[in-house]
Amino acid sequence: MSTFLAASRSGRRVGLPALVTASVLAALATTVPAASARAPGPPVGGECGGQEQTRRAVRLLTERDGIPGAAVLVNDPATDGRCGRWTEAAGTADLRTGRPMNSADRLRAGSVTKTFTAALVLQLVAERRLSLDEPVERRLPGLIQGHAHGYDGGQITVRQLLQHTSGLPDYLEAPEWEDYEQLRYRRFEPRELVRRALELPPPQDAWHYATTNYLVLGLLVREVTGRSPEAEIDRRFIKPLGLHDTYWPGDDPRVQGPHSRSYFVDGDGRRVDGTDWNMTFAGAGGALVSSPGDLTRFAGALLGGRLLPAAQLAEMQRTVEADPDRVWPGARYGLGLISTPLSCGGTWWGHAGTVPGGHRALVAVGPGGRSAAVALNTVPDSLPAELDFLDVVDKSLCGGRSSERNSA
């Protein structure tokens, strides 16, 4: 899922289907996240490229921004020996027991799930079982037809669903999601959520982040393959790549296996444990449970060209301008992938995700194939916290590269 259902600028809880919390949108729209100007400290034993800078960035999230626990895993196939893979963590994974945060724990991946679903759709395109430019109506007749707001499945393509240019609203913008805690343990079906979205007026902007798009894609996958998108992702990606921490929770609100707890602030300003949540409301757009290690393995395989032919991977990386109020400045959106410039030059590719209970994940692959996955157990709720979160990614991927760029 996305970062949504956060405190608004007035303090009222709102349904916000975006990747950045409502309280930081206005400031982020005019502030470009860049590497901090903090003075570097002395190297620490075992230092790998950027590890000390990343360590400081992770600690800021817990020591300054009030995030209970933060962790990052970095994997660099361009190095050998001990620097190929390293982790940093700070804070607490479980406030009740005091267990320290670590990068091996499972968490809810939220909208990082969209990249899995998009990769599945592109595999079907490569197999010529789907076309990016075919209309939804061809496979799902009547699903997006005959509604008061004039939505027409004959005019919406698979490509538009993948890149959030379909013109469909997000069901999470419906009024009932303002009181989302009341829906915490309810089971939802994809068609039910799509129908609810179609009752809403169309978005005003050409690019509009909406998980509705990915629920429709999940229905398309089922129609084309005869299997659920969950079963296909499990068969094509999770099992072959050995993603042992990644699974679909289905109707079970618990997270299985070792995991960090997650926390959100309720309407009375109290910190609440939000780990248990029925994720059927997110489905193919945000329900996966995973771990930083699994996310970097998947993203590395995808961006490394091991899951898709070159033509389909290139399609995923054809981007359109994204609304900075719904992602972050400088970001562009492809087909289930976000691109973001790095302070040291080049671009990272990946996706971020957040669930209402408080977990936030981000996976990114930078130049040279270095990947990073960040895990938080509370959503940043201020501009400094949001910038610090993005800075962890930048520090993790830019370490050891800044001096090369500056001397070029």
CA dist., res. 382 & res. 160, Å (int): 32
CA dist., res. 83 & res. 98, Å (int): 29
Of 111, 166, 371, 396, the active-site residue reads 111
The answer to whether residue 406 is domain-embedded is no
Q: Is 228 an active-site residue?
A: no
| CATH number for the domain harbouring residue 212 | 3.40.710.10
The answer to whether residue 275 is domain-embedded is yes
pLDDT tens series, the chain, 408 aa? 443 333 322 233 333 335 554 444 444 443 333 333 333 333 333 456 679 999 999 999 999 999 999 999 999 887 655 568 899 999 999 999 999 999 999 999 999 999 999 999 999 999 999 999 999 999 999 999 877 888 999 999 999 999 999 999 999 999 999 888 889 999 999 999 999 999 999 999 999 999 999 999 999 999 999 999 999 999 999 999 999 999 999 999 999 999 999 999 988 889 999 999 999 999 999 999 999 999 999 999 999 999 999 999 999 999 999 988 888 889 999 999 999 999 999 999 999 999 999 999 999 999 989 999 999 999 998 888 989 999 999 999 998 764 444 333
State both tokens at 14: 């709102």
Identify the domain containing residue 116 by its residue range.
24-37+47-401
Q: How distant, in Å, are the alpha carbons of 5, 57, 106, 373 from that of 172?
A: 9, 32, 25, 26
CA dist., res. 67 & res. 10, Å (int): 21
Q: What residues form DSSP beta bridges with 157?
A: 135
| Number of domain units in the chain | 1
The answer to whether residue 11 is domain-embedded is no
The answer to whether residue 120 is domain-embedded is yes
